[in-house]
């Protein structure tokens, strides 16, 4: 039989060796308060990773969180500490294109820490893509699309402000689907707010809602049919992440709108459990949950096998994190629910030289090598935490 081994020249292998990994915490103000059921933020915090290869190529990655360790167990402070102390040392000297080997080394060095690992893996794909002069998407199977429908999140809690905000986005042809954050108020207040939004935007926009685990099963059983009557297209994580049984029971009830799994799916094993329980109609895909681009693809593959729709989720990433997501999303044959990577637009300032392009209700994939964006060093210094 002919030898099918691909041999990479020794000099290129040496050029791809990881020489250093630098992490920086940044805090970027947002244009308005972003309110979830369990917290609210007026500045978004990230860990920016710069990974240098022996050939001089520098790959960048980003890890995001919301208001500290409230959405998951990771905070930016913990991410940086674990990157600097455990994850980066495990990778020094490894060839950057050994993506699975890098993942295995990081898993051996630290349990979970998915966001921190995702930032490093993004930087690996970016550095290798830059070295080869190709988009990271080509290392992930190749592009099916060069743009993705993108929604905007309404999260101030003030329906007058939210209607005005939605009207501006519609008029500018930026967004015609809106996700409404609920759960911070009593269910009756949220329902009244949603009625106003639905009436104001009827026939011109699609609404979905995200309860961020705020309801118990009884409350969800009472409210979900009312959301369906309002025409809500999708309901994200109405009950706590541990209660997959409740998700399945709610989904089986007549009058329940489609359910989106988020915090209950961090890895492919979680996705399999949700699929086996018939607990969701769609899954929210996020690098910070799945440990990187490869982990995200593995979760998506389980969902696709189970007939569960794909939704591109976000944690208010800048153009760095959003671009990394788009590289993966562009490789999916089906992305039924589009994505929500509006994060760059909610920041007062982005962290890259050329921000992502939003037009005609789509976010467009950058065409440059790697993840397609270039870190702006002046802005990195401006927003870096002392």
The answer to whether residue 379 sits within a structural domain is no
Whether residues 122 and 160 fall in one domain: no
- pLDDT for 38: 55
Whether residues 78 and 121 fall in one domain: yes
Backbone φ and ψ for 79, nearest 5 degrees, come out as: -55, -50
The answer to whether residue 283 sits within a structural domain is yes
The answer to whether residue 347 sits within a structural domain is yes
Q: Distance between CA 383 and CA 42 in Å, rounded? A: 14
Domain that holds residue 172: 139-374
Specify the CATH number for the domain of residue 19. Answer: 3.30.390.10
Q: Distance between CA 22 and CA 47 in Å, rounded? A: 10
Whether residues 104 and 77 fall in one domain: yes
Whether residues 69 and 197 fall in one domain: no
Whether residues 95 and 180 fall in one domain: no
Whether residues 168 and 252 fall in one domain: yes
Q: Using an 8 Å Cβ cutoff, are 350 and 344 in contact?
A: yes
The last residue of one of the domains, among 111, 133, 155, is: 133
Whether residues 125 and 149 fall in one domain: no
Chunked into runs of 10 residues, the chain (386 residues) has average pLDDT values of: 50 85 96 63 92 98 88 92 98 98 98 97 98 98 97 93 97 97 94 97 97 96 98 98 98 98 97 98 98 98 98 96 98 97 94 96 97 98 96
Q: Using an 8 Å Cβ cutoff, are 378 and 170 in contact?
A: no
Domains identified in the chain, total number: 2
What are the tokens at 335? Answer: 């992305």
Catalytic residue among 117, 130, 169, 181: 181
The answer to whether residue 356 sits within a structural domain is yes
Whether residues 94 and 234 fall in one domain: no
Specify the CATH number for the domain of residue 258. Answer: 3.20.20.120
Q: What is the pLDDT of residues 264-308, one digit of tens each?
A: 999 999 999 999 999 999 999 999 999 999 999 999 999 999 999
The last residue of one of the domains, among 101, 133, 165, is: 133
Locus of tokens 């979760």: 299
Whether residues 118 and 148 fall in one domain: no
Whether residues 146 and 129 fall in one domain: no
The answer to whether residue 329 sits within a structural domain is yes
| Known catalytic membership, residue 179 | no
Residue 245: CB atoms within 10 Å: 12
The answer to whether residue 92 sits within a structural domain is yes
What are the tokens at 70? Answer: 């409230």
The last residue of one of the domains, among 78, 103, 133, is: 133
Using alpha carbons, select from 70, 58, 46 the residue that is nearest to residue 21: 58
The answer to whether residue 384 sits within a structural domain is no
Q: What is the pLDDT of residues 45-76, one digit of tens each?
A: 999 999 999 999 999 999 999 877 877 889 99
Cα–Cα–Cα angle for 70, 347, 29, nearest 5°? 65
The answer to whether residue 178 sits within a structural domain is yes
Whether residues 60 and 163 fall in one domain: no
Q: Distance between CA 251 and CA 279 in Å, rounded? A: 6
Whether residues 155 and 123 fall in one domain: no
Sequence-ordered list of residues with C-beta below 8 angstroms from that of 154, at least 6 positions apart, any chain: 162, 165, 166, 178, 179, 180, 181, 197
| Known catalytic membership, residue 181 | yes
């Amino acid at each position: 039989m002919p030898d099918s081994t691909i041999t990479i020249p020794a000099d290129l292998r040496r050029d791809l060796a990881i020489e250093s990994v630098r992490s920086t915490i940044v805090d970027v103000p947002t244009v308005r308060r972003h309110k979830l059921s369990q917290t609210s933020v007026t500045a978004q915090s990230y860990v920016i990773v710069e990974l240098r290869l022996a050939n001089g190529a520098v790959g960048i990655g980003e890890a995001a969180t919301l208001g500290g360790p409230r959405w998951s167990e990771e905070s930016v402070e913990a991410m940086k500490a674990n990157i600097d102390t455990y994850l980066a040392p495990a990778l020094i000297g490894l060839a950057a294109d050994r993506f699975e080997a890098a993942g295995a080394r990081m898993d051996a060095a630290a349990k979970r820490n998915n966001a921190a690992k995702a930032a490093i893996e993004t930087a690996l794909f970016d550095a290798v893509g830059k070295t080869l002069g190709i988009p990271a998407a080509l290392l992930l199977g190749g592009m099916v699309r060069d743009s993705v429908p993108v929604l905007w999140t309404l999260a101030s809690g003030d329906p007058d402000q939210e209607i005005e905000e939605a009207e501006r986005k519609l008029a500018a042809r930026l967004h015609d689907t809106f996700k409404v954050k609920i759960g911070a108020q009593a269910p009756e207040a949220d329902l009244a707010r949603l009625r106003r939004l639905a009436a104001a935007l009827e026939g011109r926009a699609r609404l979905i809602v995200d309860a961020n685990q705020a309801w118990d099963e009884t409350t969800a059983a009472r409210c979900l049919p009312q959301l369906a009557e309002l025409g809500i297209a999708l309901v994200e994580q109405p009950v706590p992440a541990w209660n997959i049984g409740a998700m399945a029971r709610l989904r089986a009830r007549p009058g329940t709108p489609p359910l989106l799994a988020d915090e209950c799916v961090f890895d492919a094993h979680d996705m399999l459990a949700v699929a086996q329980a018939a607990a969701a109609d769609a899954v929210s895909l996020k690098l910070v949950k799945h440990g990187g681009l490869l982990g995200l693809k593995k979760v998506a593959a389980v969902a696709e096998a189970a007939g569960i729709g794909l939704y591109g989720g976000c944690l208010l990433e800048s153009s760095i994190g959003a671009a990394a997501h788009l590289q993966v999303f562009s490789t999916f044959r089906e992305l039924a629910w589009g994505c929500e990577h509006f994060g760059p637009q909610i920041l007062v300032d982005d962290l890259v030289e050329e921000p992502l392009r939003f037009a005609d209700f789509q976010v467009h994939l950058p065409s440059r090598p790697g993840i397609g964006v270039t870190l702006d060093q002046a802005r990195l210094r401006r927003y870096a935490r002392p």
